[in-house]
Amino acid sequence: MTAPDTATRPLPPDVEQAEAAIVEHYPRLVRLAYLVLPPSLGRNRRVLTAHSLAQRALPRGRRATDAAAVQGGVPAQRGGLGGPESGYAYVRLRVLRSALEAGVPLTFKALPLRGQLPALLPQVWGLRLFPRAGGAEELALDQWLATLNGPGRAA
């Protein structure tokens, strides 16, 4: 029997598929992380942290040949795992989890999680770091999201 969480969790795609998903959906991933991060960080810190979390979302050294070994030596079903959306779903889940972890306050008893560590400066060139300025609707949305907790902002 499997837990409900493991039944819906996407398996890590190979690195090339995840890289393609990050390149294709990078602005969307950064915006998602920006909205989920707590507003108490301030706008500049949230933007830098969102870029950092999107860049850290790659799986670590995963290849298509490693997936069979993870599943107990049984090859995956054809067409069930390797679509282009599986890479984006995995990367989106990693960005969302790290953004939620970054919003949890640090305690002295536990070691910090990876998302709670200070964000390194993003490794991008020629990219506008701040999200586009919306209008009054964007400001109202940011103020409304500031009243919610992390899972509420993620939903």
95-118: pLDDT as tens digits: 998 888 877 766 666 666 655 565
pTM: 0.62
CA distance 129 to 124: 9
Which H helix or E strand runs over 126? none
In a domain, 89, yes or no: yes
**Which residue is it, tokens 């919610």?**
148
User: Does residue 1 lie in a domain region?
Assistant: no
Residue 2 lies in a domain: no
How big is the chain, counted in residues?
A: 155
Mean predicted confidence (pLDDT) in 47-57: 85
Range of the domain at 76: 10-154
Count of structural domains, the chain: 1
